[in-house]
Structure 1
Amino acid sequence: MAKYDGLHEHLRRRSGDVEMSFEEVSDLVPGGLPSSAHRYSAWWSNDDRTHSQSRSWSDAGFSAHPDIARQRVHFEPQS
Structure 2
Amino acid sequence: MGKYDALGTFLRRWRRRNDAEGVELRFAHIEDIIGGLLPRGAAEPEWWCANGRADAHAPHRRAWLDAGFEAIAEPKAETVYFKKRPTL
* TM-score > 0.5 by shorter chain: yes
Q: Which has the larger radius of gyration?
A: 2
**Corresponding position of 1:58:** 65
**Corresponding position of 2:49:** 45
**Corresponding position of 1:21:** 26
Number of aligned residues: 78
**Corresponding position of 2:10:** 10
> Which stretches of structure 1, 4 residues or longer, exceed 2 Å deviation after superposition?
none
Shift of 1:55: 0.4
Q: Which structure 1 segments of 5+ residues have no match?
A: none
If the length of structure 2 is used for normalisation, what is the TM-score?
0.82
Letter of the structure 2 residue corresponding to residue 67 of structure 1: E
Shift of 1:26: 1.1
Give me the CA root mean square deviation.
1.1
Q: Aligned to 1:33, what secondary structure does the other structure show? A: coil
Q: As a proportion of its length, which structure holds more helix?
A: 2
